C-alpha cells in the first residue's frame, strides 16, 4: 500500500477546505485604521516642549487655549504654527466668538524670555486677563 504524500492546496488531510475568508480581515484592518486616526487626532500636545520646573507649581485644569513655544522659538496656537500677527488675529477672533476663559502658555525652558514677553504683549493688547505660564513640579528625591 502506497501512501500519497501530496496534499491538495484546497483541502487538508480531513477533507476540510482551507479557504481563508479575507472579508473579516479587511474589516479588522479598517477598524484599526480608524482607531489610530482617531487616537492621533486627540493626542495633546502636538509638539513636545520641555517646560521649566518650579517649587511652587500647582495643578491646572486641562482646559483653555494653549500657546506653545518650541525650543526654536516657533509659536503654536493649539496645534497650528503661527507668527505673532496670526496669533493676535486668531486670539482676537477666539475672544470675540467664544471668549477665552484661560490662556495657557507652554514655553520650552530654553526659549528666550523676550519671545515669551512678545506673546504676553499680544495677550495684553487683547485684554486677556486669565493667563497661566505652565511649569512642572520639582519632585523631591
Domain assignment present for residue 24? The answer is: no
Is residue 60 one of the residues assigned to a domain? Answer: yes
Report the alpha-carbon distance of residue 54 to residue 59 in Å, rounded: 12
How confident is residue 5, by pLDDT bands cut at 50, 70 and 90?
A: very low
Rounded to an integer, the average pLDDT of 38-43 is: 72
Q: How far, in Å, CA of 56 to CA of 103, rounded?
A: 19
- Helix or strand (DSSP H, E) at 89: helix 84-97
Looking at the 3D structure of the chain, how many domains does it have? 1
With respect to residue 46, please indicate whether it lies within any of the assigned structural domains.
no
Overall average pLDDT of the 95-100 stretch: 84
Rounded to whole angstroms, how far apart are CA atoms 79 and 67?
9
Segment 21-45 mean pLDDT: 81
pLDDT of the residue at 45? 47
- For residue 30, what pLDDT is reported? 92
CATH number of domain containing 101: 3.30.420
At 52, is the pLDDT very low, low, confident or very high (cuts 50, 70, 90)? confident
- Could you tell me if 44 and 104 are in contact, meaning their C-beta atoms sit under 8 angstroms apart? no
Q: Does some domain include residue 79?
A: yes
Cell numbers given for 133: 505660564
- Of the two residues 32 and 66, the one the predictor is more confident about is 32
Q: Kindly state whether residue 75 falls inside one of the protein's structural domains.
A: yes
Q: What is the mean pLDDT of residues 101-110?
A: 86
Domain containing 80: what range?
Answer: 53-137
Task: For residue 12, tell me if it sits in a domain.
Answer: no
pLDDT tens per residue across span 75-87: 898 878 899 899 9
Is residue 6 domain-resident? no
For 23, the enclosing helix (H) or strand (E) is: helix 23-42
pTM: 0.59
In a domain, 130, yes or no: yes
Binned at pLDDT 50, 70 and 90, residue 17 comes out as low
Amino acid at each position: 500500500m502506497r501512501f500519497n504524500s501530496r496534499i491538495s492546496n484546497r483541502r487538508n488531510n480531513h477533507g476540510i477546505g482551507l479557504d481563508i475568508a479575507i472579508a473579516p480581515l479587511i474589516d479588522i484592518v479598517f477598524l484599526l485604521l480608524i482607531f489610530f486616526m482617531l487616537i492621533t487626532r486627540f493626542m495633546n500636545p502636538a509638539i513636545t516642549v520641555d517646560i521649566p520646573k518650579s517649587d511652587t507649581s500647582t495643578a491646572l485644569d486641562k482646559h483653555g487655549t494653549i500657546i506653545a513655544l518650541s525650543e526654536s522659538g516657533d509659536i503654536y496656537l493649539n496645534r497650528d504654527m503661527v507668527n505673532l500677527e496670526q496669533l493676535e488675529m486668531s486670539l482676537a477672533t477666539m475672544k470675540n466668538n467664544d471668549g477665552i476663559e484661560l490662556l495657557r502658555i507652554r514655553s520650552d525652558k530654553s526659549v528666550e524670555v523676550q519671545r515669551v514677553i512678545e506673546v504676553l504683549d499680544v495677550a495684553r493688547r487683547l485684554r486677556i486677563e486669565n493667563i497661566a505660564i505652565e511649569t512642572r513640579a520639582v519632585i523631591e528625591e
